Structure 1
Amino acid sequence: MKTKKSSLLALGVLALTISITACSSSGNNGQTPGEESAANRTSNTAASADSKAQSAYEKQYRTSVFLGDSITEGLSYHDVLREGNVLAGAGKTAEFAQKDVGDLVGRQPEHVYIQLGSDDILWPADNPQQYSLTHYAQLIHAIQSELPKARITLLSVTPVTAEAKKAEPRYQNIGKYNEGLKELASQEHVEYVDLTSLVNGHSDLYDTDGIHFQAAFYPILLDYLKDR
């Protein structure tokens, strides 16, 4: 009888040990409580820093709207700015963007950044640049008419990688297009910011297509623009 009780006691101790071990492994992934807490603190600190940075950009650009194509759309796609501060989409050209003026006016921005041309360069027209800049001027006039107090800044078409140019030779015209865009800005008395040097200085932040950009590029872009 005594032997039977001893066996039952041993089995109970073994079961309890297994249970404690399983709970410990499941709850801490093999880490001590102190190690788990440190890991969580590191994760929470990083998340808090990202949140603070995003809030700072949202505050800085709270009265601004970025109007543009899929490159501009990255600002909201990567959650750097709120969707209300970005009015952009894939395939947008200076002609198509005129349909967005009503939406833009409804947002009542004090500063409008326009970044178009990357798709315009590929437009199947006899002279894509002239065709685009003609519509670009119309877009500026429409915004000035509806938002006469708004500040307007044109952003240059961002350069692409050598591989992207090889795949699509028409991207060779980006430099020429930007010259025309700068001249247009002067004619229409709006501001112009050339992003070429900024992109060339962060060529490691291209996306895989060599045209668009990774999330890390957009905070750098906003920092670059805030003092201009």
Structure 2
Amino acid sequence: MKVQKKMLGITLIVMLALSVAACGSNGQPPTFEITRQAVDISTPQQTSYAAQYQKSVFLGDSITEGLSYHDVLKQENVLAGAGKTAEFALQDVDELVKRKPEHIFIQLGSDDILWPTDNPKEYSLSYYSQLIDGIKVRLPEASITILSVTPVTAEAEKAEPRYRNIRDYNKGLKELASKVQVGYVDVSSIVADHPDMYDADGIHFQAEFYPILLDYVKNELGRQKSAK
């Protein structure tokens, strides 16, 4: 009887392990990973990015969350989650204020354009504007930069035709950035230059994409500053 119980216990453990592995097999964080504790960043490359962006916070959805999920930045420098929209991000302002960032990068929109309303772009940008206004009031000394929504693959666009609106949505983001006087960086070009870095769903990205993203953002901000 004891042997049977022991074998049953081993079987349950194996089944649990296989289940956990399957949940993470698509390269995106399983639900329980979203609230995991911060991971120590120890490689030279990761340490470099952690230092460069130690006074920054990236606010966004699951694409932005890849920065911390893939351990490119520390958890305290990323405030993001799956399904996040500009409307939902309003709830993150209190937490953002607690972190006292000097620079805030906002990358929202991938979920906004899928929102079931008559005009998702107009609906989203109205909340995007409210979000920025709220941050400016609470963190008046912080600089804010909007990052464009990353394009998806042709296959992903075919599966979800609303992704065809990404380019138009980004145009709206650029106009909004100019209107509310915050920075704007279009990251579309780096996605076009590295199509092999898409994850299996053609929407999210593999770990190798994020250092390239951070380098591009840093260089673009430097270029914009020099041009002034």
Give the TM-score band, short-chain normalised: 0.7 to 0.9
Partners of 1:130 and 1:226 lie apart in 2 by 29
Of 158, 168, 176, the residue aligned with 1:176 is 168
Q: CA deviation at 1:80?
A: 0.3
Q: CA deviation at 1:56?
A: 0.3
Partners of 1:105 and 1:176 lie apart in 2 by 31
Partners of 1:158 and 1:68 lie apart in 2 by 12
Deviations 1:189-215 (A, max 9, x none): 000000111110011100000000000
Question: 1:187-226 to 2 correspondence within 5 Å?
Answer: 187-226=179-218
Q: Partner amino acid for 2:117? A: A
Partners of 1:196 and 1:59 lie apart in 2 by 25
Q: What are structure 2's unaligned runs of at least 5 residues?
A: 1-41, 222-228
Q: CA deviation at 1:226?
A: 1.2
Of 57, 61, 65, the residue aligned with 1:69 is 61
- Between the two proteins, what is the percent identity of the paired residues? 69
The answer for the alignment partner of 2:73 in structure 1 is: 81
Q: CA deviation at 1:72?
A: 0.0
Partners of 2:101 and 2:116 lie apart in 1 by 33
Q: How much is the aligned-residue C-alpha RMSD, in angstroms?
A: 0.6
Partners of 2:189 and 2:213 lie apart in 1 by 11
Of 89, 92, 96, the residue aligned with 2:88 is 96
The answer for the alignment partner of 1:22 in structure 2 is: none
Compute the TM-score of the two structures, normalised by the length of structure 2: 0.78
Q: What are structure 1's unaligned runs of at least 5 residues?
A: 1-49
Q: Partner amino acid for 1:69? A: D
The answer for the alignment partner of 1:40 in structure 2 is: none
Give the match's secondary structure for 1:95.
Answer: helix
Deviations 1:75-103 (A, max 9, x none): 00000000000000000000000000000
For the pair shown, which has the larger CA radius of gyration, 1 or 2? 1
| Match status 1:123 vs 2:121 | no
Partners of 2:98 and 2:117 lie apart in 1 by 32
Q: CA deviation at 1:113?
A: 0.1
The number of residues matched between the two structures is 179
Compute the TM-score of the two structures, normalised by the length of structure 1: 0.78
The answer for the alignment partner of 1:160 in structure 2 is: 152
The answer for the alignment partner of 1:133 in structure 2 is: 125
Partners of 1:142 and 1:173 lie apart in 2 by 27
Of 144, 148, 165, the residue aligned with 2:140 is 148
Deviations 1:85-131 (A, max 9, x none): 00000000000000000000000000000000000000001100000
